[in-house]
Amino acid sequence: MQTIRNGSAGALLLAAHACALGQSAPDPASQAGAQPVQQVVVSAGADAQRLQSTTTAIVVRRDELLRHGDATLADVLKRQPGITLDASPGKAPAIRMRGMGSGYVAILLNGVPAPSGFALESLTPDMVERIEIGRVATAETSGQAVAGTINVILRRAGPAGGAAADEVKAGSAFVDGSAAPQLTVQHDGRRGALAYTLAATLRRTQNPVTALVTEEGAMPALLRRTAWFDHQVDDLLELAPRLSWQADARDTLAAQAYVRWRHIHNAMRQSETTEIGSPTAFPRAAQRYETRPLHAYADLAWTRKLDGGARLAAKLSGFHTARDADFLYRGMDASDALLATHRVASGPVEREWTFSGSWRRPLWRSHMLAAGWEAGRKARSEYRRERQTDAGGALLLASDEDYRARVVRAALFVQDEWDIDDAWSAYAGLRREDLRTSGAGNAHAAVDVHAGAWSPILQVLFKPRRPDGARGDDGDDGGGSGDEPRDGFRFAVSRTYKAPEISRLMPRRYTVDNNNSATNPDQQGNPNLRPELALGIDLAWERSVGKDGMLSVSAFHKRIRDITLVRIYRSNGVWIATPDNQGGATVRGIEFEGKATRGALSGRVNLARNWSHVDSLPQPGNRIEGQPAWSGNLGLDYASARRLDLGATYTYRGRVASRSGALFFSDDAATRRLDLVALWKRDARSRLRLSVADLLHRDVRERLAYQGDSALVSTTVFRTHTTWRLVWEQSL
């Protein structure tokens, strides 16, 4: 076993040990107040319910979603076990589970695959009822879940029991001296069988990004430094209506929607200094990017209760996005004299619909049988008008490109959940999923690709009896306190796959504006990409103590076939990067999770260790691209019975040294982040929340190296900023 030599990882291990010790001695007060078994079942916490479920899932409920005052769902997810974020300043965060991202994680919205234009950072926690995180796929959700699934359940219509009908949240974020105001208003109501909710959000996001890029090369020798600053502003207006209608005891109709208008404006300047070698074509540059995207989503769900406990459900959902964008690049010499201008106007339009349904029925008192379908169609069209002129306005390049793409998706599934006896339960499912991607344009050849796979899935849960004779769940047939430890042992085997994304299939060339190199190449898709197939085994031990305490240790091993890597080559003096299937890979890991509560204090810790090996890659850095070896977080919350609640979360992601190709090596430094939150409750309806994101604001370092004949290393150091957010919350 490798010894941990990093202080942050060691601190997480010590916290894990302390959490385990805290679980071993339950609070006497809670023991004295133990309730009869029948009441424990009704009031079981999320962790106790997790132990009872045959299919493993971590449920992040609404109170946890709102506790830390996070701006987006991505901020909520970074505290969950086994999840990390690739959050380079200035870029949208990419979600990783078990160190795997880029399509290995199935993102679901209300139980169906999220549309391609959907991003977790685009949703605020106020819109969400809960998040379900599954380490193992199920036949009902998605076969494209090599690393797992994240299912976002939007809030239901109507006022919750005991909740106020109206709520207002007003405040501002402060970043590097700039204010970013926000306002959220929500109204809940009910008229007979109809429940409704209307929420509106107005928000500005400020994101100043400062970076220094150092390039070092051999053959020819090179030492160049480029400093750049990008000021990003994002204004958002969002409306989110929800309806629910229950005409009788058998039928329920529910509709959810949101419409989001955004105005994004980025202004960037860069300046380079070349100490050894030749400067780039444009030593100074200024660029501007402006777009006004529109995103709209709606779904309609119908549920009917049938005789014998059966249920039939169907859902129709649609998504639309449109964006007209303008990009202007002005290349200058070292004295800021204009040399060339590059203009690009583009406008993608994407529409997608999905029709899904399921039928489920209990059989023979111990089985729950379910079967269902999913069908969808996505169409995307895009234009790109590009013009390059010299300092005098003479035309150097004119390009008019148009392309259209379509993805047709179909899936069928059947599954059975079987309560074998008091100790054993099992889940078996089979899913068939097919995707056909076709596209054509005036700048590349037509594409027609089929991807699909059978996904058999088996999950088994064993809950042994305790020494006192009681069952291992929240029930009790031998007399035992509901606060005593309960164990669960899990085993799962699954076959999943990862289909190529549209952008990686289309053989369009995306060119860089300046300094084309091995570490800054043009990008081009590959229509010959094949889907990646994975066979995985998962093991877990879970112990639930009381209502809010738990310990968990899980391990996984996955074998991936036809893994996609990046091939970098030089054609006519231009560096190009393209995806390519290059053999197999093995991924494995182990995770620890612990939670404990003592009176007003509650603590949580999780730690993950991941390994991987790609058959076709050399050492060092032979692992899945972007996979951190270590990750974890440590949290502490204080929930006062009076007016003040406090919380702190420390997040650690270890060094990421990996290869995306035989000659392309990346090395990102470890990241550490500390977030704080304080909630002052003026009364039952008024609250003031202060949150501090990234109090440490340590620099982020990313290193890219090309190890071919003309070796080149590019190191980027980003400056980060602390974000302060002050929000007044008023229930009316």
Regions in the chain scoring below 70 on pLDDT = 1-49, 117, 160-164, 466-485
Number of H helices, E strands in the chain: 7, 39
- Containing H/E element for 46? helix 46-52
The residue with tokens 């056909």 is: 436
Q: What is the pLDDT of residue 34?
A: 37
Q: What is the pLDDT of residue 376?
A: 95
Tokens of 208: 């100043």
Neighbour-count burial of 509, counting CB atoms closer than 10 A to its CB (0-12 exposed, 13-18 middle, 19+ buried)? middle
CB neighbour burial string for 606-643, b if at least 16 within 10 angstroms, e if fewer:
bbbbbbbebeebeeebbbbbbbbbbbbbbbebeeeeee
In whole angstroms, how far apart are CA 518 and each of 569, 663, 712? 8, 10, 7
The closest of 105, 78, 255, 71 to 175, measured between CA atoms, is: 71
CA 269 to CA 329: how far, in whole Å? 10
The CATH number of residue 264's host domain is 2.40.170.20
The full DSSP string for 623-678 is SSTT--SEEEEEEEEEE-SSSEEEEEEEEEE--EEEEEETTEEEEEPPEEEEEEEE
- Containing H/E element for 75? helix 73-77
Indicate the DSSP class of residue 39: H
The closest of 495, 628, 634 to 138, measured between CA atoms, is: 495
CA 166 to CA 155: how far, in whole Å? 15
In whole angstroms, how far apart are CA 1 and each of 7, 557, 623? 17, 17, 18
CA 581 to CA 614: how far, in whole Å? 12
Question: From the CA atom positions of the chain, what is the Rg in Å?
Answer: 27
Is the Cα dihedral 501, 502, 508, 514 positive or negative?
Answer: negative
| Cβ–Cβ < 8 Å for 342, 384 | no
Is the Cα dihedral 153, 589, 493, 486 positive or negative?
Answer: negative
- pLDDT, tens digit, 9 for 90 and up, residues 151-167: 999 888 887 665 558 99
pTM of the model: 0.88
CA 147 to CA 624: how far, in whole Å? 12
Q: What is the pLDDT of residue 688?
A: 97
| Cβ–Cβ < 8 Å for 134, 145 | yes
Q: What share of the chain is helix, strand, coil (3-state, %, to 5)?
A: 10, 60, 30
2 lies in some domain: no
Residue 129 burial (CB count, 10 A): 14
Q: What is the pLDDT of residue 342?
A: 96
CA diameter of the chain: 90
β partners of residue 420? none
1 lies in some domain: no
Asked if omega into 93 is within 30° of 0 (cis), the reply is no
Residue 179 burial (CB count, 10 A): 10
| Cβ–Cβ < 8 Å for 59, 131 | yes
| Cβ–Cβ < 8 Å for 170, 727 | yes
Q: How many domains does the chain have?
A: 1
360 lies in some domain: yes
Sheet containing 105-109: order of strands: 58-60, 128-134, 148-154, 105-109, 112-113
The closest of 379, 431, 435 to 410, measured between CA atoms, is: 435
- Containing H/E element for 13? helix 7-24
The beta strands (E) that lie in 114-250 are given as: 128-134, 148-154, 166-175, 178-191, 194-217, 222-245
618 lies in some domain: yes
CB neighbours of 141 closer than 8 A, spacing ≥ 6?
106, 108, 111, 134, 149, 151
Domain hosting 598: range is: 7-731
Q: What is the pLDDT of residue 443?
A: 75
CA 578 to CA 660: how far, in whole Å? 11
Q: For the chain, what percent of residues have pLDDT higher than 70?
A: 90
